[in-house]
Amino acid sequence: MIELGFLGTGGATATADRDNASFLLSAGRKFVLIDCPGGAIQKIKKLGYDPLDLESIVITHIHPDHVYGLPSVFLGLMLYDGLIRLYGSEETVELCTRLLDLFGVREANYKTRAEFHVVRPGMDFKLSGLADVTAFEVSHHTSSLAYLFRFNDGRKFLYSGDTPADPSLLRQAGGLDVLCHDCSAPSRFFEQYPVLRTLHTSSLELGRLAQDARVKTLIPCHFFGEVEFSLAEIENEIRRHFTGTLMIPRDFDKIRF
């Protein structure tokens, strides 16, 4: 059983109910963190996990809402002997290294150590005890990667990170059991601010994208906090095209599949 636990489901601007998007994946006691905004240690505990069981951190790209919490993770674990493997694009690894060094959390008195792994589009890597992973380039930022997780039972889970709608990404990934994808706002905001189409995905676009790719379960996330809309509007737009299973998460939700 895979557990997907949401530390945050919002975009760059947090709200009273949603913090920056980040989640953990677990197939047992050990777990992997996907992106690392602020307060990760407290949020991991709130989800019922022990931060000492954190094995790896996978970063989608270097925008602040996805990486700024990294130094506090190593600060919070400084008294415990451990190793956390960090995966990301070359640009991401370079930024994360500088960020940790800026706060001195790789110095000898910090017992939990960071091990950096550069990932390139099309490259496969293994997250021990959880999944084989393939990285895909996405156009949100020059550092951006999406990640396809292939579990031991053959199921496939894709996390897009922040990205505009891109049918080629889902074609490359192949048939998906679960897709967790950028769904920043309803389409009316993309009509009002056309530049958003080059950076993010609307709920209307996401429903069409997931239906065309025959996704079995769709999990929209990264909801903007800068504009007002309801989850009902998100759901209605997705359902204009998508007929599969739809799960709209809130912060600290857990989804098992």
Range of the domain at 91: 3-256
In degrees to the nearest 10, what's the CA dihedral of 163, 167, 173, 175?
130
Residues contacting 175, CB < 8 A, separation 6+: 156, 214
The pLDDT-based confidence of 29 (bands split at 50, 70, 90) is confident
Mean pLDDT across the chain: 97
The total number of structural domains that make up the chain: 1
Give the CATH number of the domain where residue 243 resides: 3.60.15.10
Q: Where are the alpha helices (DSSP H) in the chain?
A: 40-46, 64-67, 70-76, 90-102, 167-173, 187-192, 203-212, 231-239
**How many Å apart are CA 50 and CA 227, to the nearest integer?**
35
User: What pLDDT is recorded for position 129?
Assistant: 83
- Specify the pLDDT at position 212: 97
| pLDDT exceeds 90 at position 45 | yes
Residues 11, 222 contacting (CB under 8 angstroms): yes
The predicted structure's pLDDT at residue 10:
98
- For residues 185 and 199, the answer to whether their CB atoms sit within 8 Å is no
Please give the share of the chain, as a percent, with pLDDT higher than 70.
100
Residue 6 pLDDT greater than 90, yes or no: yes
* The residue type at 110: Y
User: Is the pLDDT assigned to residue 128 strictly greater than 90?
Assistant: no
The answer to whether the beta carbons of residues 120 and 114 sit under 8 Å apart is no
Contact between residue 130 and residue 27 where contact means Cβ atoms under 8 Å apart: yes
Helix, strand and coil percent figures for the chain, each rounded to 5: 30, 30, 45
pTM of the predicted protein model: 0.97
Strand, coil or helix: what is 165? coil
The CA distance from 110 to 155, in Å, is 38
Other beta carbons less than 10 A from residue 124's beta carbon? 11
Q: Are 19 and 252 in contact (CB under 8 A)?
A: no
Cα 157 to chain centroid, rounded: 11
DSSP string spanning 57-84?
Answer: EE----SHHHHTTHHHHHHHTTTS-EEE
Angle (CA) 212 213 217, round 5°:
110
pLDDT tens for 242-253 read: 999 999 999 999
Q: How confident is the model at residue 209 (pLDDT cuts 50, 70, 90)?
A: very high
* Amino acid 120: pLDDT: 98
